[in-house]
A and B are shown apart, each in its own frame.
Chain A
Amino acid sequence: MVTKSKLKMALAAEKQIDFKKLKLKKAQKAARKQKAKKAGEGKEEKKVEGEWEDVDGGSDSEDENAEVDEDEEESEAEGPKKIDIEGIDESDSDSSAGENDQEQDDEDDEDEEDIPMSDLEDLDDEEKEDIIPHQRLTINNTVALTAALKRIALPISKLPFSDHQSITTSEKVSIPDVSDDLNRELAFYSQSLSAVKEARKLLKAEGVPFTRPTDYFAEMVKADEHMAKIKAKLISEAASKKASAEARKQRDLKKFGKQVQVAKLQERAKETKQTMEKIKVLKRKRQGADTDATNEADLFDVAVDDEINSAKPSRKDRMGPNKRQKKDAKYGYGGKKRFAKSGDAMSSGDLRGFSAKKMKAGAKQRPGKSRRAGAKR
């Protein structure tokens, strides 16, 4: 057990580390002046000094070793103060080997004996600053750690489970990539879940109540208003999700609806076109037959109606004989009226009114002026 005065001393030691470093630096400076030629190594020393404070990866340890070896040659000339650094550096390089730690512990004890504890207790702060505590920093003092553990450890194996309720997994939880959130959280979840299952078994065996009855109400960690907030958030989240889904659906529908409308319009146009075509065909068929229409069916344009009716019943059925239709048939309807009388390839190719005799004779020649005048008289 550590006594109280010892503790205080150690605390002082903790605080004085900087001063120790300063002293060491001074010592080193002196050494450097002695050996002015080795300018480069001075830098290395500085580095070594800092090393136990800053954070290095394990890979550096070999380099440190090399440096330490170099330093050792120097330090022999320098006296006892230098030894501290070496000790630190050695502790750097050695791992948690038990024997080494044991040695250091022993050394620690010796050092502690050097300082009278009573002195430390009564000193004021200013004086405390001047003290150079002989304290060694170890990286991983296994012996001390196990001792500390033994001091505080609960006898878990002897205690009933319900006293500590701790469960350690049988094998290590391996998380290949800690930045992979999903798998990491899954590993944590499964670890806890297995622990809960085991714990429930153990607790039931000990007869400890596990499940909270539904009628047991008590203060919860998260207050009702907090839970209400969470609920509101969940609801709003769900609502926004739903709204966005709805909006997307609507958007798709709109796109599709447009297509439907276009299709419908096209169909309608096609239909009218078809009807017109049929009517035109019929018109052409009976261009000449109109005047001498003796057939009643022809008279009333049944064929047109029939033709149209085959597609779609129309108003024309009910109207009976259609005046307009007749007029249209008579005078023409639709189509362009311009150039109707101008000649075209057909008319110029039409040789019905042509006779060679007429061309040759040229009919009667126009009589001369005197003859025409004589004829007048």
Chain B
Amino acid sequence: MASVYKSLSKTDGHKEEDSTNGVKKNKQRVLILSSRGITYRHRHLLNDIASLLPHSRKDAKLDTKSKLYQLNELAELYNCNNVLFFEARKGKDLYLWMSKAPNGPTVKMHMQNLHTMEELHFTGNCLKGSRPILSFDASFDSAPHLRVLKELFLHIFGVPKGARKAKPFIDHVMGFTLADGKIWIRNYQISETEASAVSTSETPGDEKPTVKAREKGKETEISLVEIGPRFVLTPIVIQEGSFGGPIIYENKEFVSPNQIRSEIRQKKAGRYNARAEQSVERLAKKGELGLRTSGGRTKPRDALDTAELFA
């Protein structure tokens, strides 16, 4: 009820505010929290992400894993319209939920290959709370579920213009690339160097930027230095509501880590069974051929058998 009022009043406010240009303003706030049972690496990653997003609100660990709809109330409490929820399972698997708080959609993703800033030792650095440039792969526009994902990334990882703690300069870029059905996320610092210094040492192949630099006189060369963190997301499910509602997309290609582990275990456990079965089969086969003294088929007596000949 309060949320309805809030959303209504918000839109009203927007109308007054945006009467000049007549478009919705990009206003985002992200609630970042995790479930219980995350490892230190998960926690560090969460902190890294929180430090990159000045429009985020970090909250204490959520007690429950089944009643995720509680997150909606929490988001409402903190005035957030996005939720980034880290769900740890079995102390090793990390699932990332991204949701638009009051009424969806929600995306559940499996996070793999995660490396925190601390362990990566990259030399890049950026202002805390500077607004990133978001670089998306064109394949995000190829399917509707990917478009939804892109929109969510845009809302959650893009720092809105008027964010409270945002810094005025732009010094890092976040790359979202789709490869192998997974989303790869990288974070780079934009380092600018004087064009004149670079142009002398440059190969003739890179003529274009130097020419441009000369024309403008003050344009600098851009290179990127990675900051971290790194992680890979596999989308699993998209729900229509926020932490609820019908599932509107399901990734059939996703294999849960539990299944992978169990299959490995099964494979290992199956070794003995396979061997035992093989030996039984071999015995049966031998019996069938009449090569066993007891059991199986007995050979028909041959006319040339010694017992037959010298009877």
Show the binding face of A for B, using Cβ within 8 Å. 1-2, 6-8, 10-11, 13-15, 54-58, 96, 108, 135-142, 144-146, 148-149, 151-155, 158-159, 162-173, 175, 178, 184-185, 187-189, 191-197, 199-200, 203, 208-213, 216, 218-222, 226-227, 230, 233-234
Contact = CB atoms under 8 A, between A and B. Distances in A.
A96, A146, A168, A184: most-surrounded residue (chain B CB, <10 A):
A168
Contacts of B256: 55
A144 B240 contact: yes
A221 B136 contact: no
B74 interface: no
A6 B51 CA distance: 36
Nearest to A211: B192
Given A57-B252, A145-B144, A145-B148, A168 B138 contact: yes
Nearest to B117: A222
Nearest to A226: B118
B34 to A, nearest CB: 20
B127 A168 contact: no
Interface string B27-63: 0000000000000000000001001100000000000
Given A152-B155, A167-B133, 4 more contacts: A15-B66, A55-B259, A192-B135, A209-B170
Nearest to A224: B125
Contacts of B243: 11
B95 interface: no
Given A145-B145, A175-B179, A193-B222, A7 B244 contact: yes
A10 B244 contact: yes
Interface in B230-258: 238-250, 252-256
Contact of B144 (A14, A149, A154, A213): A149
Contacts of B100: 152
A1 B242 CA distance: 12
B249 to A, nearest CB: 5
Contacts of A172: 137-139, 142
Contact of B154 (A108, A154, A196, A209): A154
28 contacts: A2-B245, A7-B103, A55-B255, A58-B252, A96-B144, A137-B247, A144-B240, A144-B246, A145-B147, A146-B144, A148-B248, A149-B144, A154-B154, A155-B23, A155-B24, A164-B134, A165-B134, A166-B133, A175-B180, A185-B186, A192-B135, A192-B186, A193-B224, A195-B133, A195-B135, A211-B169, A212-B169, A220-B126
Contact of B252 (A1, A139, A167, A184): A139
A152 B151 contact: yes
B125 A227 contact: yes
Nearest to A169: B138
Interface string B9-36: 0000000000001011110000000000
A110 B10 CA distance: 33
B78 interface: no
B169 A209 contact: yes
A216 B169 CA distance: 10
A54 B253 CA distance: 10
A107 to B, nearest CB: 12
A185 B175 CA distance: 11
B185 to A, nearest CB: 9
Contacts of B245: 2, 6-7, 10-11, 14
Nearest to A7: B241
Interface residues of B, number: 92
Nearest to A11: B244
Contact of A168 (B24, B137, B171): B137
A135, A191, A222: most-surrounded residue (chain B CB, <10 A):
A222
Interface in B104-146: 104-105, 117-118, 121-123, 125-145
A193 B223 CA distance: 7
Interface of B: 21, 23-26, 48, 51-52, 66, 69, 100, 103-105, 117-118, 121-123, 125-145, 147-148, 150-152, 154-155, 158, 160-161, 167-171, 173-175, 177-180, 182, 184, 186, 188, 190, 192, 220, 222-224, 227, 238-250, 252-256, 259
A209 B128 CA distance: 16
A7 B134 CA distance: 32
Given A152-B155, A168-B141, A173-B179, A210 B170 contact: yes
A102 B36 CA distance: 40
Contacts of B240: 2, 10, 144, 148
B133 A196 contact: yes
A124 B190 CA distance: 54
Given A211-B220, A221-B227, A167 B247 contact: no
Nearest to A14: B244
B62 to A, nearest CB: 16
B138, B160, B174: most-surrounded residue (chain A CB, <10 A):
B138
A363 B128 CA distance: 132
Contacts of A220: 125-128
4 closest A-B pairs by beta carbon, nearest first, are A11-B244, A195-B135, A145-B144, A144-B248
A60 B105 CA distance: 29
A145 B238 contact: yes
Contact of B136 (A55, A169, A209): A169
Contacts of B192: 211
A1 B141 CA distance: 24
A375 B126 CA distance: 140
Contacts of A175: 177, 179-180
